[in-house]
Structure 1
């Protein structure tokens, strides 16, 4: 089993006590990039587990219909502020567009804990903690696994999701940097699916047709990797192309089991929700929290798919 602990908890600690007059409700709002994803539903399960461990706060969970619906997510944050929630756990779908809303929360003494993706430097002082995978190192881990399987020459397509999102920048950036530094592999793409499985499927089919000499592929998030896997299987290329995915829903597990994908990097999505809610509770209670908290990643292959450490992060 390969398990990688990506980065240490940051040393900088801070407190943020919400004003009782402003935080009139006992609601913790969990707002994610989209509610239509097994990954984010697993975040929901983690958040729900954390809420059930205490009795002081309640939780709401919501997200747009699609990750590309950034304006909808902004509205959800603003509505939560207007409800005077106790705190917000937020997975921002855009590094810049969410900054004004997070600033507004800060000005209303409502703590914000980010999960999965961060925001631009201009908004750093307005949130109290950031919980995520170290996406750059996770991308490097995927590139390392791909090179080990297919070698250091050939052509690899990068199937990505939403350009400019913090997790995408780190993940795809880490992958491509490692490939360029450690091989002579030619990179095709990236292609952006907007986190839509059907789009990723069609893009993969087109990429395979346009590049018959393709030796490898990287699918950088759950719907993208699922669409990529389906396209590889439909094209009769399963086992002929070294394909690495990201995240761990049932479709992706099945692709690993049958050899369509050679491995998947799986984040601690349950942990993001669980620790996100726990961190808000601590902040509102006046406790110190780390500014950055790493939730880790496990690289899952056919060899360790059924082992406990992999089962703990698969969903």
Structure 2
């Protein structure tokens, strides 16, 4: 990892720690938190797809920040070990219902598989707020997150910008059944219709982990050879896996990689030119707004609707602009 990436990461981390301490101190001395502390304590459970990736670590930080601000909230954060494990996630939803929590925040591993469990929670009078990836229900459930269809279109436009009017592109998605993953691929394919000279030669799904994504990319590169101009992929872990496959073989150095999200490894690969673009979401905002909305709905706020969060295309050229730096290194108090 280059000194530039390391220095920015740790500088922002230290500023973020100081900022968090100052916020907590100001809330305490101002008395703003006192009145909220006297109100009924709310128990909120956040059930994510995973707890390992940078995306979810940052989302949890946002949720924690909201729980600090709204001092009558006890926040429990949990997730299955793997993003494809909807069965374990559904057990967590059932457990939250059995515990009679006041609200659930959920990013569903599987659009269909978790729908009945969400409806059971709603039947029990527990508001459910979805973030990042929704569920298949006709009930009124708030969604907070990226416009995933448009984010997929953004990735397609980035591919076309990088490779020009002609070429061939492979697509590596993540868990089949994940609403946000399918929406991104649909958006990508929709935008690609506007570039008749660029052919989408293959679409495959992999589990959300580095190794399966790397293997999928290696297989795709071997199958299509040097005729493959670009690979697009749609979450943090698959992006790193694809980039590792490109970096491991010099003959594929010219293949354009457009990915999603960020962590120190993908930021380094962006800086080094292995990755051409990253579609970066604001997972901190998803966590923060998820808690804020859950609190609102426990107090009678109407559920339903969509709360969009920001998505930005980050390149080597703009990665250290002030706004993009805050997205890539979200430990900032300035």
TM-score, normalized by the shorter chain, greater than 0.5:
yes
CA distance in 2, matches of 1:81, 1:208: 46
Q: Residue 259 of structure 1 aligns with which residue?
A: 273
Q: CA deviation at 1:182?
A: 2.2
Q: CA deviation at 1:55?
A: 1.4
Counterpart selection for 1:275 from 282, 289, 302: 289
Q: Residue 233 of structure 1 aligns with which residue?
A: 247
Residue 308 (1) aligns with residue 309 (2): no
Query: Which structure 1 segments of 5+ residues have no match?
Result: 1-23
Counterpart selection for 1:224 from 227, 230, 238: 238
For residues 125-136 of structure 1, the aligned pairs below 5 Å read 125-127=139-141, 129-136=142-149
Which deviates further from its counterpart, 166-175 or 229-238? 229-238
Query: Contact 2:112–2:177 at 8 Å: present in 1 too?
Result: no
Q: Residue 50 of structure 2 aligns with which residue?
A: 34
Query: Contact 1:245–1:261 at 8 Å: present in 2 too?
Result: yes
Residue 199 (1) aligns with residue 215 (2): no
Q: Residue 137 of structure 1 aligns with which residue?
A: 150
Residue-by-residue CA offset, 1:60-108 (whole Å, 9 max, x unaligned): 1111010111100000000001001010000011111111111111111
Q: Residue 259 of structure 2 aligns with which residue?
A: 245
Residue-by-residue CA offset, 1:125-163 (whole Å, 9 max, x unaligned): 152x10010011111111111101101222111011111
CA distance in 2, matches of 1:53, 1:183: 50
Q: CA deviation at 1:271?
A: 0.5
Q: CA deviation at 1:248?
A: 1.4
Residue 115 (1) aligns with residue 131 (2): yes
Superposed CA RMSD: 1.5
CA distance in 2, matches of 1:245, 1:94: 21
Residue-by-residue CA offset, 1:18-70 (whole Å, 9 max, x unaligned): xxxxxx97310000111222211111111001000021111011110101111
Query: Contact 1:89–1:114 at 8 Å: present in 2 too?
Result: yes
Q: Residue 112 of structure 2 aligns with which residue?
A: 96
Counterpart selection for 1:71 from 71, 83, 87: 87
Q: Residue 188 of structure 2 aligns with which residue?
A: 175
Q: CA deviation at 1:238?
A: 6.0
Normalised TM-score (structure 1): 0.88
Q: CA deviation at 1:243?
A: 1.1
Query: Contact 1:269–1:313 at 8 Å: present in 2 too?
Result: no
* Paired residues, number: 289
Which of 1 and 2 has higher RCO (CA within 8 Å, sep 6+)? 1
Query: Which has the greater radius of gyration?
Result: 2
Normalised TM-score (structure 2): 0.83
Q: CA deviation at 1:181?
A: 2.7
Which deviates further from its counterpart, 204-213 or 90-99? 204-213
